[in-house]
Structure 1
Amino acid sequence: MVSRRQWVLIGLASMAATGTVFAQAFPSKPIRLQVPFAPGGTTDIIARVMSEPLGKALGQSVVVENKAGGGGVIGATELARAVPDGHVIGMATVSTTAANPAINPKIPYNTLTDFTPIINIAATPNVIAVHPGFPAKDFAGFLAEIKKNPGKYSYASSGTGGIGHLQTELFKSLTGAFITHIPYRGAGPALNDTVGGQVPIIFDNLPSALPHIKSGRLVALVVAAPQRLDVLPDVPTFKEVGLEPVNRMAYYGLIGPKGMPKEVVDKIYSATKQALNDPAVKKRIEDTGSLIVGNSPTEFADQIKAEYEVYKTVVTKQKLSLN
């Protein structure tokens, strides 16, 4: 008669064998790369730039699938429940792995335990910009104006719980300024109303805001980036203005469901690094305003955890909720 301990050992051996089979067979069919947002945004753009060279490196096609809804939660939830054999992976963003989980206790996944981090492909600077009619045209004047008039001004974001919302709340917590949050259903509508003057301030990803800044329809005041950007050489970083904790960029990485075999993770990681070494791929990503990262699975896991903890603190300090 087989003892309970023997059954446990048999089960563990079976799991190890299954993982080995997954790794040896991978990839045995096309890979689905899930984007938890609608087509056209920065997340979708980077996924589509990567899909062909990644598929070439892996020897199987990589098909981009958009799973939009719930500020990225629907797509992320589906990914968390997928078979962890590497044939379904997804794009990870600050919104889906840090900001939204920090503010929404009802999210049906644990961002720190339900995914397998693979690699952070790229990071995108964020920017505070104002309508040209705003009284100030530089950061010092902007801060003075909103602190002098608490509650007079409002800011637009792509939605409650997104990076634009929580990064602005982090800014508010550090400066003591008060501006009212106006959430929108995506960056597009938020930008349209800021450009139109209905809302005077926006905190947005640079790729979507930059065309409006270049055309003069928005005025950039400060950016979240490691150093000043070539496209905005006169705009300081948050670190320069004494707000280094806000100097956080949006990330766009690859994750899979929890329990992916290390050998499969290593294959996807190596293939992604190979793709990022292609000058044409690198240029296409950098043309969006993003910076190539390419860190390790462990480094990306640490980054996700750090971002989550930052925004969890913001939510607690600012007493934020989805209501």
Structure 2
Amino acid sequence: MKRRLALAIPTLALSAAVPLPTLAQSAYPARPVRVIVPFAPGGTTDIIARIISDRTGAALGQPMVVENKAGGGGIVGAGELTKAAPDGHVLGIATVSTVASNPAINPRTPYNPLTDFTPIINIAATPNVIAVHPSFPARDHKTFLEVLKRSPGRYSYSSSGTGGIGHLQMELYKNLAGVFVTHIPYRGAGPALNDTVAGQVPIIFDNLPSALPFIREGRLIPIVVAAPQRLAVLPGVPTFREVGLEPVNRMAFYGLVGPKGLPKEVVEKVSAAVRHTLDDPAVRKRIDDTGSLIVANTPEQFAAQIRAEFDVYRQVVDKQKLTLD
């Protein structure tokens, strides 16, 4: 399958590798760099962060230490990052949930996603998937829709948290498809997956990388995906576009940001270190194997992407009259 990004996420070639000695010459970083993942371990955000952290830390000359700060659909961890000193020793992973969907629906978000972060680089984008427990009485989207319409309110779905991309996209799906399913929010995709795989919740809206291992094992059944085209890893599963629900057909992303006011030289150095990491064939393969697509754009392009996604979800919230209640 030809791998290309769509949905306002441009395909960008990686820059030439930056030699490790060049990256380690300046005073920054003077100590280990904390990377805040605003979700629990086991979800896609956590997976992507850990794939790049070791080699990026080596390129910078100091370890990158991943810390999970879950809660509020990503707001807790993202909010903690905004309070950090802008010296580059505390960075964070930004997702559509933390800089677009959650701020768009939650008026109590304690930060402005467009002004309180310094974009550094978007690492990767991933398809999203609706999947069900094997006990659910459907194996394809047509039957899935029929089951939900026959029994409004009977079924529930899990997501990584209230206001997250899984929540907002599933609510949009419900509105456009004319179905009612109860939302069960979790403190990250890991816990949501655990309960869905265990059969405590029958449906999940999740990023593909964290759900894919369970799909491959037959412990979850994929129903429909948000992707530019059908995926090689799920060739029999239609996209939301194919089933007539184009507005839901948006991918997630995982980028590195710092607090507001991060110096340009720090931004450039971290961006170069991540690009160096992504030039490694072994790292690229690990990211590809999750079902993610490497982006590796510039800080300016990532900033524009954040603004575009926030505008999209703000319009969705307004148009669909979505609230947290």
Q: 1:37 to 1:154 in 2, by over 3 A?
A: closer
Deviation string, structure 1 residues 220-263 (Cα, Å, up to 9, x no partner): 11111222222211111122223222121221110011122223
Give, in whole Å, the separation in 2 of the partners of 1:48 and 1:194: 24
Give, in whole Å, the separation in 1 of the partners of 2:189 and 2:250: 18
Give, in whole Å, the separation in 2 of the partners of 1:241 and 1:320: 23
Which residue pairs with 1:7 in the alignment? none
Give, in whole Å, the separation in 2 of the partners of 1:261 and 1:158: 32
Q: 2:103 aligns with which of 101, 104, 124?
A: 101
Which residue pairs with 1:134 in the alignment? 136
Aligned positions of 1:26-175 closer than 5 A: 26-175=28-177
Give, in whole Å, the separation in 2 of the partners of 1:189 and 1:66: 13
Give, in whole Å, the separation in 1 of the partners of 2:273 and 2:72: 31
Which residue pairs with 1:183 in the alignment? 185
Which residue pairs with 2:254 in the alignment? 252
Unaligned stretches of 5+ residues in structure 2: 1-24
**Aligned-residue identity in percent:** 72
Which residue pairs with 2:218 in the alignment? 216
Aligned positions of 1:191-210 closer than 5 A: 191-210=193-212
Corresponding letter in the other structure for 2:114: L
Give, in whole Å, the separation in 2 of the partners of 1:81 and 1:161: 21
Local SS of the residue matching 1:265: helix
RMSD over aligned CA atoms reads 2.3
1:24, CA displacement in angstroms?
6.2
Which residue pairs with 2:316 in the alignment? 314
Query: Is the aligned partner of 1:240 residue 2:237?
Result: no
Q: 1:146 to 1:252 in 2, by over 3 A?
A: same
Give, in whole Å, the separation in 1 of the partners of 2:260 and 2:53: 22
Q: 1:283 aligns with which of 277, 282, 285?
A: 285
Unaligned stretches of 5+ residues in structure 1: 1-22
Local SS of the residue matching 1:85: coil
Which residue pairs with 1:15 in the alignment? none
Deviation string, structure 1 residues 156-203 (Cα, Å, up to 9, x no partner): 222211211111012123333332223234334433443344433221
Corresponding letter in the other structure for 1:305: R
Q: 1:38 to 1:216 in 2, by over 3 A?
A: closer
Give, in whole Å, the separation in 2 of the partners of 1:196 and 1:206: 18
Q: 1:185 to 1:50 in 2, by over 3 A?
A: closer
Q: 1:283 to 1:317 in 2, by over 3 A?
A: same
8 Å Cα contact 2:131-2:221 kept in structure 1: yes
1:67, CA displacement in angstroms?
2.7
Give, in whole Å, the separation in 1 of the partners of 2:116 and 2:175: 30
Q: 1:84 to 1:245 in 2, by over 3 A?
A: same
Give, in whole Å, the separation in 1 of the partners of 2:42 and 2:190: 10
1:304, CA displacement in angstroms?
1.5
Deviation string, structure 1 residues 120-144 (Cα, Å, up to 9, x no partner): 1112221111233433321123224
1:92, CA displacement in angstroms?
0.8
8 Å Cα contact 1:119-1:255 kept in structure 2: yes
Greater C-alpha radius of gyration? 1
- The answer to which of 144-153 and 232-241 deviates more is 144-153
* Larger proportion of helix: 1
Structure 2 length normalisation: TM-score?
Answer: 0.84
Which residue pairs with 2:4 in the alignment? none
Structure 1 length normalisation: TM-score?
Answer: 0.84
1:62, CA displacement in angstroms?
2.2
Deviation string, structure 1 residues 246-287 (Cα, Å, up to 9, x no partner): 121221110011122223212211221111010011112223
1:207, CA displacement in angstroms?
2.4
Corresponding letter in the other structure for 1:223: V
Local SS of the residue matching 1:178: coil
8 Å Cα contact 1:129-1:218 kept in structure 2: yes
Give, in whole Å, the separation in 2 of the partners of 1:44 and 1:103: 23
Local SS of the residue matching 1:321: coil
